[in-house]
Amino acid sequence: MIVLPLLMKTTPDVLPQDLVGRVAIVTGGARGIGLAIAQRLHQQGARLCLWDRDPAALQQALALFPATEAFAVEVDVCSQQSVEQAAAQSVALAGKLDILVNCAGVAGSNAVLWEASVEDWRRVIEVNLTGPFLCCRAVVPHLMSNGWGRIVNIASVAGKEGNPTAAHYSASKAGVIGMTKSLGKELAKSGVLVNCVTPAVIQTDILKQVSQAHIDYMLSKIPMGRFGLTEEAAAMVAWLCSPQCSFTTAAVFDLSGGRATY
């Protein structure tokens, strides 16, 4: 079992209310990093549309917010029809859309590439790369109509460096980085900014999907000697969603405890 060092509080007592009047979609918003991001955005004034495929987890997450300030939308991000219906439902519930955070993801099982199953490869690519594509495709027209918007895609340092026994995950996250850069350039004059975050491992339930050997490998690559916290990821995403982020698009932000080398 990995024992993490005690850390100082990462969330300030007073947060800027710079997202009042904004509506944010967070995919994978029922747990883990997605839920932490949703909580941070709400603390800064945003109303929420939590997208997730787990209805029970969605209801548990929804109970953390005032009834009129958060909505739960059950969605399969791998399905074009489901995503388009979720976008329409979100507009109907919240009145408009301003922010999209693509956080839904899976790790897949660990295996060297030549022994990996084709089914696992396709599942990881579908959730981690096709999912954000479909969500952006459905939401971008709403953001463009506002003349203002923010998209933040959660990629991974694995997409920059590659992790052994995780070719599918690394490839999917490299694709997210490339998609972010392309879409950011396409929307550069629209008022809609598109960026991505590349964390090293964040301490969430996704670690239950991978082997202990892989966990040990990933921890050994982080100079700080610990995994990241969901609150740390949420703080970075919140700035990228804010008006203070105004001249940054098609960019990649590391959150890696010193692991990232470029």
- Give pLDDT tens digits for 6-17: 444 556 667 899
Annotated catalytic residue within 71, 133, 169, 227: 169
The whole-angstrom separation of Cα 253 and Cα 262 is 10
Residue 39 lies in a domain: yes
Residue 46 lies in a domain: yes
152: CATH: 3.40.50.720
- Give pLDDT tens digits for 37-67: 999 999 999 999 999 999 999 999 999 999 9
Residue 262 lies in a domain: no
Residue 1 lies in a domain: no
The whole-angstrom separation of Cα 16 and Cα 31 is 24
Residue 87 lies in a domain: yes
Cα atoms in the Cβ-side hemisphere of radius 13 Å centred on 215: 17
Verify whether residue 169 is a known catalytic residue: yes
- Give pLDDT tens digits for 88-117: 999 999 999 999 999 999 999 999 999 999
Structural domain count, the chain: 1
Domain with 61, as residue range(s), is 23-255
pLDDT value of residue 156:
96
Residue 4 lies in a domain: no
- Please name the residues in contact with 60: beta carbons below 8 A apart, sequence gap of 6 or more: 30
Residue 260 lies in a domain: no
